[in-house]
Structure 1
Amino acid sequence: MGRHRLLPLCALLGVLFAGLLPNLDAQEDCTQGLAADIYFLVDSSWSMGEENFEHVRQFLYSLTHALHQVGGDRFKFALVQYNNRPETEFQLNSYPTTQEVLAHIKAMSYRGGGTRTGLGLDFLIHAHMTTASGSRAVEGVAQVVVVLTDGRSQDDVAKPAQVLRLAGVEVFAVGVQDAVDSELREMASQPHDTHVFNVDSFLILRDIIQDLVVGLCGAVAQSGSAPNEAPVAGGGTAQDSADLVFLIDGSQNVGAANFPLVRDLVLRIVENLDVGRDTVQVALALYGANPEIKFYLNSYDSKASILEAVKGLTYSGGDKSNLGAALEEVAENLLSQRAGGRADDGVPQMLVVFSAAPSTDDTSAGDRALKRAGVITFGVTIADTATADLEAVATDRSFVLSAPDFRAVANMGDQLLQFINGEVESTNINQNEFTEVIAVGKRDIIFLVDSTMGSQAVNSAREFVRMFVKTMPIGPDEVQVGMAIFRESVLQPMVDLNSHGSRDELEASVDVIKPNQDRKLTLEQP
């Protein structure tokens, strides 16, 4: 994000804002020396208006200044405005000093639009709460989100709020005027009396700053443990591993002159990945009338080999752009275990589609196959030439990027990397660990698993059961665990309650439950 040049008007606004700062002078360090990554998600919809947005700017300026007073340089800040679409104002690592952050806030412009708070939260998770964007979560630094909105969201906030909650992120919800209290509580962390603020007027925002700072300080002080990373096969972790496929329009819609620009985008992304058998694997295919696989996930072991293969790509041409057939090819052949796919090991699988025109065939079958398999799909298009197709197949509409022209495509690598890295780090964000064995007495517990879920979801369910078993006193006179799967009206027992007399035996049976190619579960006998 480019830094804003200060105008004389900003100096005047600085004087005005300074008079609104809460009296926090000489306040003791309420965070006990701990650091925090603080993300502001700010509604800038039409219902707010320019005049009220000025009060929001003042609120953000004063709040940031007050937080800097108590947290110093240990506190880092990021800000996203949202309406119909979220837009990054700055990331945690955009500015080295809080003074530069404050200068940006003063110069921030009002955008206008709808109110898609759920999309804003999702964008924050995927594009900002990543190591590449400056997050220090893997170092154990507290993650704090402050949401400000003035009305009911036009989309669902429950799912992204649940992701944040399970990841241990502290969420503070600030509502103004027509904000819905139940929705604020849906987003906010517990206890609500310190995490939810709902005021009748934008003028009153300044009156809640001190209470908000105190609440945030308390949340940071209570958060001191580093997050756990889920181990995967090969010695890496699920947070630094991925299967990544590039699917590129090779038809005349791109053209021979523009194809090298698209190729440069792929090169820029690969150059910044940690490529290897136990980290990120890369595959690539072109599509026109028919898909053409250039290399598989297991074709190359090194980054240098992949870069050479990408540099050797040549334009194929043709007047057809059958994206649907290409998506089916990816689902069937590029992400499978025989092609190097590691979905069964819990590794996230991702697809980046570059399209320069609407598809000339139906994309629905391929789209369904990828979504069933839990593949995370991103899209890149020129202007709005293929936006509708890509938004339909993408995991989320915010995962579709639009370049104004082909020359701008190569410069989109950094933004795509933020998405990719964010998904690698957040795929297992909802895997919690049980940390102590609880005396529960005799119990018969049965887990029922939907076998039509994608590989990643099934593996997450299996991992949940395995961790649960690890902490229970397993035995005929203590806790017995059973497991069954279902598909439509068919129920299939996998682990009987009385079939395993010890924890080790039970764990071994749970570990071998895996999704197979047609997404049913199978049990391999140990």
Structure 2
Amino acid sequence: MKKHPLLLWAFIGILFVEIPPPLYSQEVVAGGNRDIVFLVDSTMGSLSMVSLRDFIKRFVEPWIVGPNAVQVGIALFSSSPSLQMDLNSHGTKESLVAALGEIKATPGQTVNIGAALDFVRSNMLQPEKGSRLQQGVPQLILLVTSKKSSDVVEQPAWALKQMGVLTLAAGSRAADELELKQIALADQLVFMTRDFKSLFGNPREIVDALSTLTGVTATEVPSESVEAISPTTKTKVARDIVFLLDGSDHVGSGNFPSVRDFIINVVNRLDVRPEGVQIGLMQFAEHPKVEFYLKSYDNKQDIVNRTSELSLSGGSVLNTGAALNSALIHMFQQSSGSRRRQGVQQVLVLITGGPANDQFNSVADKLVLDGVLAITVSSGQADENQLRSIALIPGFMVFHKTNFSDLPALAELIIPLILTDVDAKEPEEIS
């Protein structure tokens, strides 16, 4: 790891041409009030998590912890983020240190850093959660990850920079250094290591940065979602999206997390709210089952939480045609939350891992005729010839990956299609 003089950090703000220079200025000042959020990859392993807990404990030891000094918040993330402690959860050092024992590693193969950064911005850096951003107190985030993100990080990182948040990033193993440089405020604030035990065992550079970086931050916290304020993305649109999820043995419990992660990746990139995007989900094998309707949840986090809790229904029979028909009859209805009659684009995303045991070409055709944009995502034993046959139907798009583990990354290809307006006749309510 290269040594970088701390005085260089006094000028790192000007390295980012997309950040207007007047937004905040950097200076090196040891001590003082600061709000620090540790954003931690929960899949990095138990030994690494122990090293991180010990590091946080040692880091706060010389500080005064409280609402008029240093505050610490912690969030974990894998495919979705979870709050461990808000900035104002612990008003004393003793309380904070005692709570560190609850921070534990969890298994997982996918991390969505973009969603985690957005979670911190919209849920933790808020006055009611203890953030003193509007009082000019430096806001710092230390991102710790062992993997490359499965979602896009550019827009969430950009939004944090616009707020004047000082972001550092530490990565090991499969973490992507170039990606972390997109996230961190400057390249000097990216710390790559073979393992976190060695990094946190000799953390002088990180400690110096967390202890000395400060700045005059923006006085107004952006209230819009990252999708709305980003310069490149255009996801602030209205859509009714139904995921039709193969819960059969063709997917299997070992591959089911990858399927869930694909759905979560798509949801995390959308503007979920009653006037924006609504999400519904059905699972099917021999018989379809509604997991939640379009009207069931009105925010992104509830949908992500519910999707993360899904378990495989199981079964060897896969009646895809019957499931598609059931989605038309039960999901794309006004009583279920559909806004078809208000002209909102209807979208169905079929995710399957096996060959259909019934015919579904005719109902696939009916979906498109009724104004539903239809997308198929498949893997495993799914019959590619069978799926290609429905790809001939105008407005029906088919994606296939050999391995289920490749599905989460497909979200970035699916998003532009979901947001595309398609020409369709005015549908009538299906009875």
TM-score interval, normalised by the smaller of the two chains: 0.3 to 0.5
Structure exhibiting the larger radius of gyration computed from Cα positions:
1
